[in-house]
């Protein structure tokens, strides 16, 4: 979970730096960030902004699965491997989204992370159902 927090923090720093750069270069006025209206957001701001928001969508299910696995004492090797695989997939997704933004590659990384997340939940539900908690 800490690795996902670090990824989220890294994207936040990227977002902050891009917004500061946009204001300094007079690409958007400072007032734009009050309600995000009145200017067109340049792509180099829009990508990290959207990606930061995305890190509070499906990753929430990752955090809940990890916490549930800890609480039920089902955080064994399989769950740990799945969790690390999920984090790696999300790092790849961030790298593509914030870099080249090739949609096909980004979609593959995102879809793979969702499959891994589903596997985490299936493993957790199976463990709890079989009384491994």
Q: What average pLDDT does the structure give for the chain?
A: 93
pTM: 0.91
Which pLDDT score is estimated for 17? 95
pLDDT tens sequence across 37-74: 777 888 898 999 999 999 999 999 999 999 999 999 99
Query: Domains in the chain, ordered, with CATH?
Result: 2-129 (1.20.120.550)
* Pairs from 88-95 (Cβ < 8 Å, separation ≥ 24): 89/113, 89/116, 90/4, 90/7, 90/55, 90/59, 91/7, 94/7, 94/10, 94/11, 94/51
């Amino acid at each position: 979970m800490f690795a996902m927090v670090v990824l989220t923090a890294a994207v936040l720093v990227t977002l902050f730096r891009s917004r500061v750069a946009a204001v300094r270069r007079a690409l958007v006025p400072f007032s734009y960030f009050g309600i995000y209206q009145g200017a067109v957001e340049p792509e180099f701001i829009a990508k990290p902004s959207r990606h930061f928001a995305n890190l509070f969508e499906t990753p929430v299910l990752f955090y809940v699965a990890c916490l549930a696995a800890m609480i039920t004492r089902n955080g064994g090797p399989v769950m740990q491997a799945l969790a690390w695989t999920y984090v790696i997939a999300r790092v790849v997704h961030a790298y593509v989204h914030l870099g080249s933004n090739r949609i096909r590659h980004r979609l593959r990384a995102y879809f793979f992370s969702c499959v891994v997340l589903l596997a985490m939940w299936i493993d957790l539900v199976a463990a709890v159902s079989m009384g491994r908690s």
